[in-house]
Structures are given as C-alpha cells and as structure tokens.
Amino acid sequence: MSTEDKVKINQLPTGVPGLDEIVGGGLPEFSFNIIAGAPGSGKTTLAHQFVFANATQERPALYFTVLGESAIKMLRYQQQYTFFDPAMLPGSIRFINLSQVVLEKDLGAVLEQITKEVERANPAVVVVDSFRTMVRKPESDMDLQSFIQRLALFLASWQATTFLIGEYAEEELRDNPIFTVADGLFWLRQTAERNSIVRKLQIIKLRGQDSVPGLHTFRITDAGVQAFSRTFGLTGQVKDPPSQRRLCFGIPDLDEMLGGGVREGDSVLIAGSSGTGKSVLATQFIAEGIRHGEPGIVAVFEERPQAYAQRAVSLGLDLETPQKDGKLTILYLRPLDLSVDETMHSILDAVQKIGAKRLVIDSLAGFEMALSPGFRADFRESLYRMIFALTGIGVTILSTVEVDESFTEFPFSTYSISFLTDDIIRLRYVSIDGQLRKIMVVIKMRGGNHAKDIREYEITSKGVVILGKRLTNYQGLISGIPVHSDRSDSTGEPPLDTGIEHKT
C-alpha cells in the first residue's frame, strides 16, 4: 500500500509541555486512552490540560466525574493552574456528574447516560474521571469487558478522543480487559526516594505511532504537568557533522598543547582537586568564546551567578556585560529534587534562546548533588544522553570534575565518565622544592594530536598562566611527589612516570 493510500491519523496537541514529543508528535485523534497511576500522580491535571488544549464551542469536551473527587473541589483546585481558562466553561468544556447513576444503577445505565450526553453534545474529547471507581462495582468480568468494548466503540464512532482515568497498581497491568481495549496507556508514577519525590511517566502503549520508550521525568508546577523527554526534545534532530574548527581557551600555551584548541562540538573534561583552577579555566573558556562572538552558557551548582561573575572580575574577565547583551547566560540550577532531564530542559532552552556555542557545567559533582537521590543512580546514563544530545547540535561542552588527589593513582574522574568525553585535561598538585605547585597535562584528545607535555602553571590575576617549558628534570610528576633528576635538557625526551596506575 502506498503512503497516499494509508489513512492519515491526525495528531492532537496534548497541552502538556514536552509530552507531544514523547507521544510521537501528538495524541492520535479518536484514540481511546487510559491514564493510570496512584492518587496524586497528576492524572486529572494531565487530562485537564488535554481538554483545555482541544475543546471548542463547536466540538466541546465532556468531562464525566464519577465517585472520586467532587467536581466543585476539582474545579477549585484545577483553576489554580495557568492553563485553566474559566471562560471555556461551560460552553466548550462541560462537567457532568455521573455519581447518581453509578450509585443507583448498573454499568448499562452509565453507558446509556454517557451515550445520551455524547449524542447531544457531539464532543471532540471525552474524559471519565475516575473510571476506576465506576468499575469497582461488583460486576462480572464479562459485563465489564462488554461495557468497555461498547464504550470504546461508541466513542470512537462518534469521533471522540477519550481518556479514562483510573487508580491502578502496576500488578494490575496484566490480564485487565481495559488495558487490552485501550489504544493508549499512560502510566504516571510517583515514588519517594529518601526525602525527595520523583515523578515519572511511561507510555506503555500507543497504537498507530512511535512514542519515545522508557520512563520520562515530569513535574507538576503552577503551569500543570510538564514532561521531560529522555530525548530532550531533540528527536529527529540531524546531528551536525564533526567540525574541524578549534575553540581556544585564550591561554596561548594551553591552546598550543591542545593542537590549536578543542574541536567544536567536543565534550571536554577538566579534572583536578580543589583549588587547582578548574573553574578558572572554565571561565576563561567561556570568556574567550564571547570575545569571538560565540554565545555561552554556564550552568553553576555550587555558587550563585552573581558570585560567579564577581569571581571572574578578579581574573580581569567581564561576564556582566555579555549577560546584559544576551551573549551569556549563567544558570543557577539547584532546586530540590532536580532531574537531569529538567536540567537539560533549562540548559537547552538557554542554548536555543541565545544560540550558545559553548557550555560550561561547573561542576559535575555539584550537578550530581543537586539531583534528587532517586536520579543519582542514573547520573552516568543521564550524563551520556545529555552530552550526546548537546554535542549533537554543535555545542561544545566543558565540564569540571573534582578528583581526590592520590599518590598511588592518577584518576581522571570519580564518575568513570571519561569515556563520555572527547578531551581530558588533568590538573594536579605536585610537591617540588618544598612548594606545592600545579601541573597540567592533556590526557586525551579524540579529534587529533595533542602535546604530551606536563606543564607547570599558576593562577594569577589574569587567570591560568602556564610557566616556562615542559618539566623535564623531574621523574614521577604525575604521582605528585616527583624525584628530581639531573637532566636539564628541556628539549630531550621526558622521563617516564613509573609505578603509577592510570584510572579512567
């Protein structure tokens, strides 16, 4: 069958930010859907958003309430959301209470009442909330199955897109006739992880189109439900071909060590212990980008934007002006119960808003700490998705990570995430001639050659400054306790660092 011969299924906006992408573009018109989940998981709010997004005077929405929350209280609470438009009631959205019929009669009478109202109103959207309270009545399975099939058939024939809302436990997923009949099954989960609440949404099934699989974080704010797709809203986005352009730090010696700078679209990791200048390097990287007309984003977790900008002043860098000019956004991302997906959403919004080319995440440890404990277990996997998504649209990411200094190992990160990064710059302290000095080395550059030199540097009022040539007259520099050798030939081969275990 050719594409032209196939029936076209229109997609309706869900009215839930982020959910259209998750369901594959929008909700299939005339579909028969179930929103399931525990009490308080956001089922009613999600249904309201769909109703307010699709109801019109000509094709209204019918919202049947049954034995759950009373309609008057439901409207009292729901109108607190920004999507709620009182002017749409009752012309475009009608609430119909079925409690009397449910209490006094059987499912047949309920079906008859729904049928009557639907035939009278010709609605585009029908919601039954809570459907579960209706089917808890002692009816035989056959009666229930027959009722559901007749309801689904009737509502589809009347060209209505339907939501049944119910409180279901996950173990009820099997062998339940309702789930068999449904075209779409939306499962909302809410779990407590230590002191945090984690909300996740799953499209268990959706006939007729591809939805994004897996669990997606969602949050309920004063705007209603907001979903955060695992694909970060970048489904279908064409990945940019690898760029050959190099982005500089504005530190000539370091840029030279990097073979001219980091490759555009790379993920760069700066690893080092506290006070080694990771944030200073990150700030210089973002400031250099702005100097070259490349807007930047700095996501900070450990200090507030004002303090971050103030610290840059002490390095002779002005971050205030580019913020005012819309060339720089410093994001402070430290609410409670943060998910990586929400963070990503904020970052992507900022990236798209100012057309950012460089992104600094300062730091990964702060990022992890800002996450709800329930999301920390997925941190590495989430980080992978985030880096892949952002570098895919050509953003160069520089992340800082704190590592514990050790005299027996040379770890690049405590997260085992170095495989996610294209380039790694390692900073560390060394004890030389009775002084605690700093060295840096480029560990890896996926996109090309880089210097193998170990260079000493200092943090001055102008930022990171690399001192002299490579250190050739010491052995065991990366151990942090080098041994002085007699070699003073700065052009000779550097000594090997022996006895040190490299960990990634």
Partner 1 sequence: MTAVPGMRDLAHRLLTYEVGAGKTSEPMESPTLRVYEKLRQSLVEFVGVAGFQSLASRALTLATPEAPSLGAARVSSDGSLQGLGEIETQIDMDKDRAGEGGIILIARLLGLLRIFLGEALTLSLLRSVWPGEAFDDRNSAHGRNA
Q: Which residues bind partner 1 (CB under 8 A)?
A: 65, 70-73, 75-76, 79, 86-87, 89-91, 94-100
98 vs 271, beta carbon nearer partner 1: 98
**Residue found under tokens 């798209």:** 352
Residue type, 214: G
The Cα–Cα gap between 340 and 382 comes to 6
| 412, 426 Cβ separation under 8 angstroms | yes
Phi-psi region of 355 (alpha: psi -120 to 50; beta: other; left: phi over 0): left
The helix/strand/coil state of 459 is strand
| 196, 373 Cβ separation under 8 angstroms | yes
Q: How far is the CB of 68 from partner 1 (least distance, A)?
A: 12
Q: How far is the CB of 63 from partner 1 (least distance, A)?
A: 8
87 vs 169, beta carbon nearer partner 1: 87
Q: Which long-range contacts (CB under 8 A, 24 or more apart) does 238-243 make?
A: 239/392, 239/393, 240/265, 240/392, 240/393, 240/394, 242/447, 243/394
Q: How far is the CB of 62 from partner 1 (least distance, A)?
A: 11
The residues facing 226 across adjacent strands are 219
96 vs 215, beta carbon nearer partner 1: 96
Q: How far is the CB of 60 from partner 1 (least distance, A)?
A: 12
Buried b (16+ CB within 10 A) or exposed e, 429-441: bbebeeeebbbbb
Q: How far is the CB of 72 from partner 1 (least distance, A)?
A: 5
Of residues 250, 251, 248, the one with CA closest to residue 262: 248
Of residues 481, 449, 453, the one with CA closest to residue 466: 453
| 296, 358 Cβ separation under 8 angstroms | yes
